[in-house]
Amino acid sequence: MYSRTYKTLVAAPPLFWISLFLLLPYALMFAHSFWLVRDGFVVQQWNLQNYRALFTNPLYLQVFLRTARIAGSVTLCSLLLGYPLAYFLSFHAGARKELLYQLVIVPLWVSYLVRGYAWKTILGSDGVLNGFLQYLHITHEPVSFFLYSPFAVILMLTHIYTPFVFLPIYAALEHIPRPLLEASQDLGANRRATFLRVILPLSLPGLLAGATFAFVLSLGDFLAPLLVGGPSATMIANIVQSLFGAAYDWPLGAAISVCILLITISLLFATEHLEKRWSFK
């Protein structure tokens, strides 16, 4: 339909863009992960030392497991908040649907940093939450674990990623033909059975997409632990950041990045495969 020249011309800019800003950096990162640092300089000497360090030093595994735990908790919490919210909006919101939808979306327009600092203000020792609890005489001195803890990181990331979980679930629920729900009831299924046998299975692809968003984005997050996490909530991305920054060990940082990248890519492939299997068009 289109000429060869036209196709080439159209494809060229994005290809160039992807090569320059995606493929090339990945290639550099991949190469760096097999190099080493000597006397404060990166030496292009191929070796597996970085990967060996990763798998032998328990610190990295420990931080990685904590990261996965935090990302898992964030995913679970966002699902527990996002699914009922999407369900309510799709099936019971009636005329308020549009307004509520906008209210869910609006926080996405607020800068990540602003939201992070907001949580700092809320959770801190002289923050809003502690002030409130003391005002009500529920506590008598500031509760310290609100801020600078894995709890704070999970809370903040859940707040940030719940809309991301909400959106695909909402889209999936909106796409369920309503006569199916009537057919289910007609055949003798009450609300609960209809939810479990029709709504839930048909919203699984959306649920999975949302869960993947929350998990993958949390897995690579470094700002939340930096702002509200403290040392007990250091995540893998913070390690990478410090290796590329103060510690100046780019090869080791690159090796960790390669691992995260591989995990993320396999996750995305797995979930995409599942989503395809679970969608019935």
Binding site for another protein (CB under 8 A): 177, 179-180, 182-190, 193, 197-198, 201-202, 278, 280-281
Nearer to another protein, 14 or 179 (CB): 179
Least distance CB 186 / another protein (angstroms): 5
Nearer to another protein, 135 or 280 (CB): 280
Nearer to another protein, 81 or 204 (CB): 204
Nearer to another protein, 69 or 273 (CB): 273
Least distance CB 185 / another protein (angstroms): 4
Nearer to another protein, 58 or 177 (CB): 177
Least distance CB 100 / another protein (angstroms): 23
Read off the tokens for 73.
């908790």
Q: Phi/psi of residue 3, each to 5°?
A: -75, 160
**In the 3-class helix/strand/coil scheme, how is the chain assigned residue by residue?**
CCCHHHHHHHHHHHHHHHHHHHHHHHHHHHHHCCCEEECCEEECCCCCHHHHHHHHCHHHHHHHHHHHHHHHHHHHHHHHHHHHHHHHHHHHCHHHHHHHHHHHHHHHHCCHHHHHHHHHHHHCCCCHHHHHHHHCCCCCCCCHHHCCCHHHHHHHHHHHHHHHHHHHHHHHHHCCCHHHHHHHHHCCCCHHHHHHHHHHHHHHHHHHHHHHHHHHHHHCCCHHHHHHHCHHHCCHHHHHHHHHCCCCCHHHHHHHHHHHHHHHHHHHHHHHHHHHHHCCC
Total number of residues shown for the chain: 281
Nearer to another protein, 11 or 193 (CB): 193
Least distance CB 195 / another protein (angstroms): 12
Least distance CB 199 / another protein (angstroms): 11
Q: How far apart are CA 175 and CA 206, in angstroms?
A: 10
Nearer to another protein, 154 or 202 (CB): 202
Least distance CB 171 / another protein (angstroms): 16
Least distance CB 179 / another protein (angstroms): 4
Q: How far apart are CA 91 and CA 87, in angstroms?
A: 6
